[in-house]
Amino acid sequence: MSEIRVGLVGYGTAGAFFHAPLIHATPGLALAAVVTRNPDRQAEVAEKYGAVGVPDVPELWDLCDLVVVASPNKTHVTVAAAALTQGLPVVVDKPLARTAEEARDLVRLAKERGLMLTVFQNRRWDGDFRTVRRLVEEGRLGAVLRFESRFERWRPVPKGGWRETGGPEEVAGLLYDLGSHLVDQALQLLGPVREVYCESEVRRPGVASDDDTFVALTHAGGARSHLWMSSVAARLGPRFRVLGSSGAYVKHGMDVQEERLRAGMAPDTPGFGDDEEGRWGVLGTEDDQRAVVTEPGAYLDFYRDVEAALRGSAAPPVDPESAIDTLTVIEAARLSATQRIVVHLS
């Protein structure tokens, strides 16, 4: 079958470092067009991928068979809805929408049109999270009591840009940015949530949206998730600390794939997702512990599954209904932080 032509909306961090190289490395997909008004970026996509740069979204419709939305968060719903209305399947970078209700409307539109809609929750394919899932599924921890997960950085001086300077209308801040990953992982690992508590602050001058946030979830099964996201962590905590009834798993350091993508490493390079031995996590108890080889990170699997789904041989890699669940929790967290209450979900 011929290659599926992909139109990419946005060529900032998400588009340039994640989506474009992953699409390019996926057999059966071809990056055909990129929406960017920057002449230098248009020249770059032509040279690196043989793609044409176009200034506006409507110019994509006749150039592609799949639309990938990697533009600023506030545009996700508008662009995705326009593509679906044109009869094109869509991949949307996280967060899918600002609210769960907006996400439901998109999912409903995709179903009415009989089109694929999926969400780039790439952190499900982090090697460390894949390791946690395997250990839990194998019963190596016993019953999970508490899942601790952190995305922390030390950025005392803001970088600028809409993610820091924008308000709610920009869908800005760490709760939507990093929280979209942390909440999604917690739901994937431990299932539905019945209670949400959140503390959220703006710590740095010149920043308009949360840059230091903590979320506590009580899952329907009884386990708890404690999630930290911060730009003001001068000392970083463990990426994961998972406490179970028979043991624990502790992992420091971030998944290697983002670092390698930013460095220009092709995602189909052998060993691309392999963790270094010195960064492996530790499983066990204080008296009996051993290193566990980190599962290879596999971002490329997301787009391989997209390609297979469009050809009818697999389900989409991320069910958009799960993105609605994530946004429901994020909205509850925002309400909790604002009103200083525990929010109960049905």
| Calpha distance 124→276 (Å, rounded) | 19
Count CB atoms within 10 A of the CB of residue 152.
20
Check: pTM over 0.85? Answer yes or no.
Answer: yes
Classified by CATH at the fold level, domain 4-120 comes out as Rossmann fold (3.40.50)
Q: Judge contact between 239 and 128, C-beta under 8 A.
A: yes
Segments making up each domain of the chain, as ranges = 4-120, 124-298+328-344
pLDDT by residue, tens only, the chain of 346 residues: 599 999 999 999 999 999 999 999 999 999 999 999 999 999 999 999 999 999 999 999 999 999 999 999 999 999 999 999 999 999 999 999 999 999 999 999 999 999 999 999 999 999 999 999 999 999 999 999 999 999 999 999 999 899 999 988 899 999 999 999 999 999 999 999 999 999 999 999 999 999 999 999 999 999 999 999 999 999 999 999 999 999 999 999 999 999 999 999 999 999 999 999 999 999 999 999 999 999 999 999 999 999 999 999 999 999 999 999 999 999 999 999 999 999 999 7
Q: Pairing relation of β-strands 4-9 and 29-35? A: parallel
Please report the sign of the dihedral spanned by the C-alpha atoms of residue 13, residue 171, residue 239, residue 185. Answer: negative
CATH of domain 124-298+328-344: 3.30.360.10
> 281 — phi, psi (to 5°)?
-80, 170
Q: Are 72 and 45 in contact (CB under 8 A)?
A: no
Angstrom distances, CA of residue 323 to CA of 121, 146, 255:
9, 22, 22
Measured CA distances, 298 to 127, 128, 212 (Å): 7, 11, 29
